[in-house]
Amino acid sequence: MKRALLLAVILLFLIAPCASAVGTGECITLTEIWYQLTEYQDGTKVITILSIEQFQWCDVVAPPPPPPGPDLPPQTIPPSVSLAFADTTDPSSPMVGIDVNSNDARDPVAWVVLEVNGTTEDYSGFYDNARYQLHLRSIGQFGENGSVTLNAKACTGSGVCGESSAFLERSTTPKDNDNTIAASWQEEEEKGPVTRQASYGHGLRQMYTYTHFGCSEIGENSRYEIRESVVTISGQDPMPLWSDSIYTSGTINNASYTLSESANPVGCTYPTLCSSKSGSSAGSFGYSISVRDDIGSFVVEGMGTIFTNGSLEVSFP
């Protein structure tokens, strides 16, 4: 049988250095052990551990601030760049002038870039603060209507860029001119030839594309682009059979071309009848240009005629 029963506690203290995210110091650890001592009649003793708990207190001191270090390097100053001009002396191979005026020696310029609507058009490696001339696609490739953004960039090796922008705008419209043709011809009758006369409307509609830059333009040969020419003869029976040719002057690739049958650009209501011919020539660009149509033949009722006002002209300042 049991002779004695004793409950007791043992307290263990441990002091040790510690470190944390906020500093260093000392921590005290207390271990509390509860146990039971049982003594039997035969003198046997049994110790039973009832519980063990641990507690800790820390006294942490924040470290002193680090000594001041060297100053951070200053940020790169973006290069100074300007889109100086567009050179359209040759509209099929225009150039864009880009001036780079400054360069940070700590992060030097590596590339000079020309973009169209954010996409690289041409580029050059950097060699010095200077004027760079980069290629632009043919003016005719920009379509008949619309606007694009030309962006000049000078970029450092770390990707810091200076930029300058301008626009290129195109619009297509017609320009018209007209006069009246007076035609006379002879018809054979029983008593001999009889002179006949008739009047006909004669109209020239010249389509053209106007190009405008939002920067200085050198050459300016892209200012006007000659497009389709349409000539219309209007009147009443008898209507003529006729031919017509177009001549351009003051343009790149001065052109001449013969017109062929086409749809009428204007409505004709009976009894007025219309006959139209059209044609065009690629590459007819210029600044101060003119377009003239010349009627080569004018046949009524199978007879050649004498006619007036067989030419029309439109000009672009």
Nearest by Cα to 281 from 206, 192, 178: 206
Same domain, 39 and 99: no
Q: Which residues contact 90 (CB under 8 A, 6 or more apart)?
A: 219, 221, 252
d(CA 227, CA 244): 16
Residue 70 in any domain: the answer is no
Q: Domain count of the chain?
A: 3
Q: According to the model, what pLDDT value does residue 1 have? A: 54
What pLDDT tens digit does each residue of the chain (317 aa) get? 555 555 555 555 556 565 554 456 677 776 666 666 677 777 777 667 667 777 676 665 656 655 655 555 667 899 999 999 999 999 999 999 999 999 898 999 999 999 999 999 999 999 999 999 999 999 999 999 999 999 999 999 999 999 999 999 999 999 999 999 999 999 988 888 899 999 999 999 999 999 999 999 999 999 999 999 999 999 999 999 999 999 999 888 788 999 999 998 877 888 899 999 999 988 789 999 999 999 999 999 999 999 999 999 999 98
CA distances from 164 to 102, 113, 216 (A): 14, 11, 13
Identify the domain containing residue 137 by its residue range. 81-168
* Contact (Cβ atoms closer than 8 angstroms) between residue 185 and residue 168: no
Same domain, 136 and 196: no
Same domain, 54 and 158: no
Token code pair at residue 301: 């009722």
Token code pair at residue 279: 């044609």
Helices (H) and strands (E) in the chain, counts: 0, 21
